Amino acid sequence: MKTKDIKPKDRLIFALDVPEIGKAKELVKQLDDNVTFYKIGMELLMTGQYFQLMDWLIAQDKKVFVDLKFFDVPETVGRTISRLSDYGATFATIHGNQALMEKAAENKGDLKILAVTALTSLDRGDLDDLGFKCDVQDLVISRAKRAFEAGCDGVVSSGLEVPFLREFVDNKLIAVTPGIRPVANDDDQKRVVDVATAFKSGSDYIVVGRPIKNAINPYQAASEIQEIIKTCF
């Protein structure tokens, strides 16, 4: 499988899942040159300073992943993505049907659109509760195929399903894998893999939050992950 032209250091995306802008900036400064790519999600949106933080990150020469999982009628999502494309972010997530994905892709500009397949906090029992009667693997493959056909650039997928994406979907599809746990975990993420497994399975990027944020030394934790990434390529 041909490897995409991605700088190794950019393959680690740190999830800035903190309640305040000040704490977010403090972490960015602490991680310094060890992290070049940041995911900002719904918690920071509630601060009212989301776009100021995005501008600040880009001014620090960082890449930004807007993880707001846009889900609405297709026209609304299309217009939203069109406006967002002016801000300079690298990735943005959407979560919806074929028409929604197509409208997002039509309006993306230079922004890369990632379709969510199945959240890594969901397992087979959760999908039953939601009314999905298929396997998680089958659901992820189906959604990834449809996303690629709709013109999306990639998907967000557990590392457990990425090998099957690589088997059934064009390798041009970007695979971003959240729920990375360097060690065994007992939190709300259920379908997880470690760093090396994610990349060996075919992931292009990994999203890491708590293992770095909650470390005694976040800089060192990020550095250790970057060292593992170097051995994978």
In the residue annotation, 67 being an active-site residue is answered as yes
Distance CA 67, CA 42 (A): 7
209 is in an annotated binding site: yes
Whether residue 17 is annotated as binding a ligand: the answer is yes
Residue type, 181: R
Catalytic residue among 9, 25, 62, 69: 69
Q: What does the alpha-carbon distance between residue 102 and residue 78 come to, in Å, rounded to a whole number?
A: 8
- Active-site residue, from 72, 112, 126, 200: 72
Q: Is 190 annotated as a binding residue?
A: no
Rounded Cα distance, 230 and 8, in Å: 6
Q: Is 181 annotated as a binding residue?
A: yes
Active-site position among 67, 153, 194, 204? 67
3-state secondary structure of 158: coil
Tokens standing for residue 122: 């969901």
Residue 153 annotated among the catalytic residues of the structure: no
Question: Is residue 55 annotated as a catalytic residue, yes or no?
Answer: no
Q: For 210-224, what is the HEC assignment?
A: HHHHCCCCHHHHHHH
Say whether 48 counts as a known binding-site residue: no
- CB–CB of 35/47 below 8 Å? no
Give catalytic residue positions: 67, 69, 72
Enumerate the known binding-site residues for substrate. Answer: 17, 39, 120, 181, 189, 209-210
